[in-house]
Homo-oligomer: A and B are copies of this chain.
Amino acid sequence: MRKRVIKDMMNRKILLRSRPQGWPTDENFEFQEAPLPQPGEGQVLIRAIYLSVDPYMRGRMSAAKSYVEPYRIGEVIEGGGVGEVIESRSDKFQPGDKVLGMLGWQLYGVADADKLRKIDEQTAPLSAYLGVIGMTGLTAYFGLMDIGRPKAGETVVVSGAAGAVGSIVGQIAKIQGARVVGIAGSDDKTAWLTEQLGFDAAINYRTTPNLKDALEKECPQGVDVYFDNVGGDITDAVIGQLNDHARIALCGSISAYNDSEGKDIGPRVLVKLIKTRSLMKGFVLGDYADRLPEGAKMLGQWLSEGKLKYEETVIEGFDRIPEALLELFKGTNIGKMLVKVG
């Protein structure tokens, strides 16, 4: 009987209709209704609860080679999500189980049981598995700890500091004993960073008359570690303040993601990196696949000890997923941007 009801329901999906040139628009997305998919042997049917929108998705909408395959035209846009198992053809899951996986931009999805992780609402709210103890928290952890390697007393600067990754980076750097300076795009954000998250200082890059002067003031000992989420002019300014043997973890370059090819022009960093003998390294979470349990353990521990705080910006409604992605690029979110769909 229960199965019957499900079958009468329709699925909704968002497909990539065309590749954006510059900022994504409605034209690039296609909403589609379809019957509920049927799980095969070893698979489960999942009803989405929260779907994640993340900056890396813009890269996958382009055809250019990158660390993950581009999205394909006419296919559901892939992305992380948490949901509830509705029907299971695997021993690993029962209907009602909550799971984390690559659910994609759809209300219902079928997934291989062994590509899903069962999550526990008692340990943390479902949404946290997409943020502070999920992909963005882990990204913060590995980029900072493996590339940035902050030492007590050093100065760590984080751009995109009020975002899902940056807000965790700064708090982990504080746990390591560093002086932490965040760069963000509104006074609400900078207030949140210093008053709630314990950042030593925060700079609103939209209102500061001179970012270089602001950095010099807030980083009187120079910059030892820079965790970069944004690129562009902000990064140019921070690189100007590097100390000898500085480390730069390149996590994102959101200011450039909607540029057309060849538009991201600025001062070359080579001479500065030589003079300071600094290291700059790009990374993605996938590079740390072998070490995920370590990261999850540390994040979970700090969260339970009250050393990590987080916020989420939750947009309600499946139809608003593309809008949520755009808002992310505009920087309207504080903390992890999520869409609640169920």
Contacts and interface: CB of A to CB of B under 8 A. Distances in A.
Contacts of A256: 268, 270-271
A232 interface: yes
Contacts of A257: 271
A111 to B, nearest CB: 27
At the interface, is chain A mostly helix, strand, loop or mixed?
A: mixed
A272 B284 CA distance: 12
A253 B280 contact: no
A232 B244 CA distance: 22
Contacts of A268: 231-232, 235, 253, 256, 264-266
B277 A283 contact: yes
A80 interface: no
Given A279-B281, A280-B279, A267 B274 contact: no
A15 interface: no
A275 B281 CA distance: 11
A68 to B, nearest CB: 10
Nearest to A244: B67
A293 interface: no
A86 interface: no
Contacts of A275: 59, 65-67, 282
Interface string A234-278: 010000000010000011110011000010111111111111111
Interface residues of A, number: 38
A105 B282 CA distance: 42
Contact of A274 (B244, B253, B266, B277): B253
Contact of A228 (B232, B264, B270): B270
Nearest to A274: B282
A281 B270 contact: no
B262 A265 contact: no
Nearest to A249: B274
Contacts of A279: 279-282
A231 B271 contact: yes
A287 interface: yes
Nearest to A275: B66
Interface string A41-59: 0000000000000000001
A59 B264 CA distance: 28
Nearest to A66: B275
Given A281-B279, A281-B280, A252 B274 contact: yes
A240 to B, nearest CB: 11
Contacts of A276: 67, 282
Contacts of A262: 267
Contact of A278 (B59, B251, B281): B281
A66 B275 CA distance: 5
7 contacts: A67-B274, A231-B271, A252-B274, A256-B271, A266-B266, A276-B282, A277-B282
